[in-house]
Amino acid sequence: MSLWKYADRLPVEPLVTLEEGETPLIRSAKLPGDTWLKFEGANPTGSFKDRGMTVAVSAAMAEGAEAVICASTGNTAASAAAYAARAGLRCAVIVPDGKIATGKLAQALMHGADVIALRGNFDQALALVRELTDRHPIALVNSLNEFRIEGQKTAAFEVCDQLGGAPDTLCIPVGNAGNITAYWRGFQEYNASPHLHGYQAEGAAPLVKGEPVENPETVASAIRIGNPARWEEAMNAVTASRGEIRAVSDAEILDAYRRLAAEGIFCEPASAASVAGMLKYGSEGTTVCVLTGHGLKDPTTAIANAQPVVPCEPSLEALEKVVLR
Ligand SMILES: *Cc1c(COP(=O)(O)O)cnc(C)c1O
């Protein structure tokens, strides 16, 4: 089974799939309230991007494309590379130089994508690939691509099916704002209308500030975006759902990140913004926090924010000392 069980609500045939979707909805054992965690790290490449990519690359295949391209903070690159490999298409990914998490880079390279490190930020990368794809017959698989949104909306269907009804509140990290747009579309198609609570990182919070951020900065690299492509749709989703869009600090994000790990759930920092926001601003009723990507994506941030490894001499005495301490 995969998200293609909703094929009658999707615009193309499943030509390219890695059995994405159908991710766990886990009830939190430690967070306050009736709180559920939609663990999108369980997708084939470890993030929700696979939901959109299976549909976008299927559409590219149907249209006879030979290559796909994207600008990416990392997970779109990893996902595009995997689905392009699966489809036998060429793939180029444009990432901000030095700003992409190690796991994501390893994925894109292993799947054979041309990884291009742009000496600039994500927003500049996206502007350039938009121009490039206007001029050349290469499929753009950023979340500007409507097929991406169509695939990603299936997460809202799943949440409702798994809970046996719509949640009261859905908390979600917001970067380029494709995913919050997709969830709202999905909920509407399901006649559900939870409050959507979108959270941005304080150093990359254009939707909260009401203006683009020129040099976005945050530990949560997946949402380090200063000028979201789906700005208006995201704000419409927030308004129509009587939700909110707020900012959380890096310290709050990392605190939520560690709290989740302490109950056995390892997500990446950007994902923890959903929980950080819920803890900071509260939520109503049954609440689902979307955990957008797997913690293994960014081992560097994990190791920098965990307790140190304990050194030990090779003797029983020394081992007892450290184990039984
Ligand atoms: C892409 C991504 C986001 C942000 O999603 P948008 O659709 O850009 O708002 C959040 N978390 C992770 C892990 C991502 O990969």
Q: Could you read off the pLDDT of 31-67 as tens digits, one per residue?
A: 999 999 999 999 999 999 999 999 999 999 999 999 9
Domain boundary among 146, 176, 199: 146
Per-residue pLDDT at 1: 86
Shared domain for 65 and 16, answered yes or no, is: no
Per-residue pLDDT at 246: 98
Per-residue pLDDT at 325: 82
Cβ contacts of 216 within 8 Å, gap of 6 or more: 121, 122, 123, 201, 203, 204, 206, 224, 225, 226
Ligand 1 centre from 181 Cα, in Å?
Answer: 12
Q: What's the structural domain count of the chain? A: 2
Residue 315 belongs to a domain? no
Ligand 1 pocket member 265 (CB < 6 A): no
Per-residue pLDDT at 166: 98
Count of Cβ atoms closer than 10 Å to residue 242 Cβ: 11
Ligand 1 centre from 173 Cα, in Å?
Answer: 7
Q: What CATH number corresponds to the domain at position 122?
A: 3.40.50.1100
* Closest residue by CA, ligand 1 atom 1: 222
Shared domain for 274 and 290, answered yes or no, is: yes
Per-residue pLDDT at 158: 98
Per-residue pLDDT at 299: 96
pTM of the full structure: 0.96
Residue 231 belongs to a domain? yes
pLDDT per residue over 157-205, tens digit each? 999 999 999 999 999 999 999 999 999 999 999 999 999 999 999 999 9
Domain boundary among 146, 176, 201: 146
CA–CA dist 195, 238 (Å, integer): 8
Domain boundary among 131, 146, 161: 146
Q: Please state whether beta strands 114-118 and 195-201 pair in parallel, antiparallel, or not at all (unpaired).
A: unpaired
Task: Please give the helix or strand (H or E) that residue 60 lies within, else none.
Answer: helix 49-62
Shared domain for 84 and 140, answered yes or no, is: yes
- Enclosing domain of residue 102: 49-146
CA–CA dist 54, 181 (Å, integer): 18
Ligand 1 centre from 11 Cα, in Å?
Answer: 23
- How confident is residue 98, by pLDDT bands cut at 50, 70 and 90? confident
CA–CA dist 301, 208 (Å, integer): 25
Residue 143 has pLDDT above 90, yes or no: no
